[in-house]
Amino acid sequence: MTVRLQPLSKHSAAGILYRATSGSESYYAFALAAGHSAMFLRKNGSSIRIISTWELEGLTDGSAVTLRMEGEIAEIRLWVNDKQLPVQHMTEGMQGDPGVFAMGLGCFEYDDVSVQLPSGA
């Protein structure tokens, strides 16, 4: 999945949901964040825990970045563009569905789909 993020807020992020469960608001996410960084996080109810972060070098604002995620039981393999990141290990949330998300203010593009979140939305 290619994600392009043009943030209007330093708290903006967009990316891939993994093992999302409806009703419990629980999922893992691999996200591109404002400030040219990527993060892997776990949301469980109202709690968000950032598991890992990586600074992405050589990007400019609005650069297209390809995020890739592959999961197998308790391991998740992540890529930014063609660079593989360290394998992530899960201890909870072993079931659910994939998806995409955007948070904050800005323009978020996923391959051929764009989500615009204006100020005050």
| Cα separation, 15 vs 33, whole angstroms | 9
At which residue do the structure tokens 């659910």 appear? 96
What are the pLDDT digits (tens) for 16-44? 888 887 777 888 889 888 778 899 988 88
Q: What is the pTM of this model?
A: 0.78
Cite the beta strand spans of the chain per DSSP E.
2-7, 13-21, 26-33, 37-44, 47-55, 64-72, 75-80, 83-84, 88-89, 97-103, 106-110, 113-117
Number of domains within the chain: 1
Please indicate, yes or no, if residue 121 is contained in any of the structural domains: no
d(CA 40, CA 90): 11
* Domain range enclosing 46: 2-114
Inside any domain, residue 50: yes
Q: CATH number, domain at 88?
A: 2.60.120.560
